[in-house]
Structure formats: structure tokens, C-alpha cells
């Protein structure tokens, strides 16, 4: 394949190469998500790949096109996540040595999983940029083939095979929402979709703290706003090739907040019984919270991956419950007398709120002597239920503030 160019024929050729090594993941309609989003919603479950993410497609397509000399020497990549595992897994299957360079602070579970798949793992640097630089140096020193996680025509063609599967399904849809980090996934999907179904609108979704593609399309230098729970798409610098393909083929870009992403992760677990990592849930977050920017009445969500630290999952679920109005913080000014606190807890319980935590403060708020400010973390049914509890306390004469 010529460097710097990707065609529909390349994507079809990639499909022929990789079909025996990857899962043709299901496309299923979610009635419940459709009701929540006000449109028909179909989910493409790429989190069901062997390594839990779509990255296998591009990695395998690249590996299968190496020369015998390149296979013998091996490949190298810089990655702290799904690209590393996809490359390690298929490299191991094919007998190709794989080296992965990860930042030093990569979660240990990701390091262990990659090593268990047979890869040599080197940890160096504070972030991806340091790891990338070191990987390029090692590639030169050891004669290894560098496999870029997104800005590579073979990788892009492999990711584009998802679009071929979508158009072959007997499912009506008029928009596709695709997570965007470096742009490899949406580049392949959008290129194929615009050739095969030009009527379908392709919408890229980024985490607002890492909206590097949106900045690149406007010709601006990206300025990070902080970390994001969607670490799979936390890319500071998009690819040259991917930026061009996105500019040519993508209809719109949308950003979503971490709270909105957490809400989407929680709903996927609860409704679809499926673990989707933050990056994979951004499409649902866009439908739930930015629906006016997403055209169409029948949308496909690319659930790009499901790899997440269990400790991170617990925090995300709590954030999702807050966004859904099912976990709230009530701040109540309570008379600092015997029975004062019990009266408030009894009232919250009578309104069917489940108290999870009580923080009793006498000294750290500017309240009158004899008044304690108490924070209650309460499980509720909905935002309306939060208002019901707050109103009941106010009717009893308490000063109360509900903070979601």
C-alpha cells in the first residue's frame, strides 16, 4: 500500500486479510437507549474483540503485510492501552516479536496484560510523547518496524473494516458516532462510509479536555485542559494523514465532558450489561447530552473498547450516578442539640432517600453558634426525587442545598 494514501479498495483488501483473526462484532439495537435518546440507537460492540477493543483490526492488517525480514526482526509501538494489547496479541499468534514502550506511570494492569500476551514492555518517560520518542529511537537502533497507533495507512484501512460490516447489516441508520483520539478509527470508517453510503452522516466525538482533532481542523495549536477519564482518546497531537481524511470525510465534530462520559459508561453497564471504557462511551454521551448537534433519527454508536481499571470503574460509576441524579449531596444546617441530626436523617429516610455518608461540621463553615452544617451523601431515584427530599426538609424549616 502506498504511504500517505488510503482507498476503499485498501479497506476491502484489509478485510480479506484479517477476517479470520478478528471478531465480526454484533450490531444490535437498544430499545431502552433509544427511548432515552429520542431516536433509534444501534450499538456496534467492538469491546467484544479478543483484547477488548477495535485496535486489533489495524494492528493485524499491519502485521500481515510485513516482509519476512521485518517479521523476524519484530515490531515496536508506543502505547499504554489498546494498541499495545492488539499488537501484542496478534504478534504472539503470528510469531512476530513485539516491543511496547509505555510511560512509567501506566497502570500496572495494562503492563501485565501486555506482557502476558508475549510482548517485551519498556516503561520510560512521563507521558506518551516520551514513550513515542524512545520507541522511534529503539526502532532505528534495533531495526524494528514502528507501528503507529493511528497515523498509518495500513492501520487506518484495518479500522475501516468496521464500516464494511455496518453497511452489510440489514439495519437502517443515518448517522454514525465515532470516538476520536488520534483519528485512525474515524478516518477509516468515514472514508468507507462516504464511498458506500454517502447519505450517512459521520460524527466524531472527543473528550472536551482533549479535543485535539477539533483544534487541528481549525488550524489551531491544541491546548490541553487537563486529564480525561476517556484515556483511550487522550491524544495531544493527531496524525497528519488522519487530519486530512477527517477534513475530507467527517461531517461534524462534537465534544463531551467527563461527567457526561461517566453517565454514558454507567448507563451502558446498567442497560446493556456491557462494560464500555470512557473512550468507547463518548458517542452515547453525545446522544444524551449534545443531541441537537447529532443529525438523524437512527444512529449507530461505535463502542470502541471495554478495557478499564476496576478502580477507575468504581469512580466512574459514582460520577455517572451523580450525572443521572441518583447520587446527590445535601447540605443542611442542623440545630446542634441532642436529636437534631436524628430528626434530619429520619426525614430523609421517610422520603425514601438512602443515606450513604454523613459529614458533620461545626468549625469549618460560617454558621451561627449552635448550628452545625451537615453534608449527606444520599442515593436517590432521580433528580425529581432529590428535589422532593430537599423540599421536604425546607418545609420542616431547615436551610438546605442540593448539590449534584
- Residues labelled catalytic: 55, 304
**Ramachandran category for residue 80: left, alpha or beta (phi over 0 → left; psi -120 to 50 → alpha):** alpha
Are 245 and 271 within 8 A, CB to CB? no
- For cell 485542559, the residue is 225
Angstrom distance (rounded) from CA 99 to CA 73: 11
**Dihedral angle of Cα 184, 186, 192, 195, to the nearest 10 degrees:** -130
Are 99 and 111 within 8 A, CB to CB? no
Are 161 and 274 within 8 A, CB to CB? no
Identify the sign of the CA torsion 138, 149, 101, 222.
positive
Angstrom distance (rounded) from CA 9 to CA 95: 28
The Cβ of residue 72 has, within 10 Å, a number of other Cβ atoms equal to 12
Amino acid at each position: 500500500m502506498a504511504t500517505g494514501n488510503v482507498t476503499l479498495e485498501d479497506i476491502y483488501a484489509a478485510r480479506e486479510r484479517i477476517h479470520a483473526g478478528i471478531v465480526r462484532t454484533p450490531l444490535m439495537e437498544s430499545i431502552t437507549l433509544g427511548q432515552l435518546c429520542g431516536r433509534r440507537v444501534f450499538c456496534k460492540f467492538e469491546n467484544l474483540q479478543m483484547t477488548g477493543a477495535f485496535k486489533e483490526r489495524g494492528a493485524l492488517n499491519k502485521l500481515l503485510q510485513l516482509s519476512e525480514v521485518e517479521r523476524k526482526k519484530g515490531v515496536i509501538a508506543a502505547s499504554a492501552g489498546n494498541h499495545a494489547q492488539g499488537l501484542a496479541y496478534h504478534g504472539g499468534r503470528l510469531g512476530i516479536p513485539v516491543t511496547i514502550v509505555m510511560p512509567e506511570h501506566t497502570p500496572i494492569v495494562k503492563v501485565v496484560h501486555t506482557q502476558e500476551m508475549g510482548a517485551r514492555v519498556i516503561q520510560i518517560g512521563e507521558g506518551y510523547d516520551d514513550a513515542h520518542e524512545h520507541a522511534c529511537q529503539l526502532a532505528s537502533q534495533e531495526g524494528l518496524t514502528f507501528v503507529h497507533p493511528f497515523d498509518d495507512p495500513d492501520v487506518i484501512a484495518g479500522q475501516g473494516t468496521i464500516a464494511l460490516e455496518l453497511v452489510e447489516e440489514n439495519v437502517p441508520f443515518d448517522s454514525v458516532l465515532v470516538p476520536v483520539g488520534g483519528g485512525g478509527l474515524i478516518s477509516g470508517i468515514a472514508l468507507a462510509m462516504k464511498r458506500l453510503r454517502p447519505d450517512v452522516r459521520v460524527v466524531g466525538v472527543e473528550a472536551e479536555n482533549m479535543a485535539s482533532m477539533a483544534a487541528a481542523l481549525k488550524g489551531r495549536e491544541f491546548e490541553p485542559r487537563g486529564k480525561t477519564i476517556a484515556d483511550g482518546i487522550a491524544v495531544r497531537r493527531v496524525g497528519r494523514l488522519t487530519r486530512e481524511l477527517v477534513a475530507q470525510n467527517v461531517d461534524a465534530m462534537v465534544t463531551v465532558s467527563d461527567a457526561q462520559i461517566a453517565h454514558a459508561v454507567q448507563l451502558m453497564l446498567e442497560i446493556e450489561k456491557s462494560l464500555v471504557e470512557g473512550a468507547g462511551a463518548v458517542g452515547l454521551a453525545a446522544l444524551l447530552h449534545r443531541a441537537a448537534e447529532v443529525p438523524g433519527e437512527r444512529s449507530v454508536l461505535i463502542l470502541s473498547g471495554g478495557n478499564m481499571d476496576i478502580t477507575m470503574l468504581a469512580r466512574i460509576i459514582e460520577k455517572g450516578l451523580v450525572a443521572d441524579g441518583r447520587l446527590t449531596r445535601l447540605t443542611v444546617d442542623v440545630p446542634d442539640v441532642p436529636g437534631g441530626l436524628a430528626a434530619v436523617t429520619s426525614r430523609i429516610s421517610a422520603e425514601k432517600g438512602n443515606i450513604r455518608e454523613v459529614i458533620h461540621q461545626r468549625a469549618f463553615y460560617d454558621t451561627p453558634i449552635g448550628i452545625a452544617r451537615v453534608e449527606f451523601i444520599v442515593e436517590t431515584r432521580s433528580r425529581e426525587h432529590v428535589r422532593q427530599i430537599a423540599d421536604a426538609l425546607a418545609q420542616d424549616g431547615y436551610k438546605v442545598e442540593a448539590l449534584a
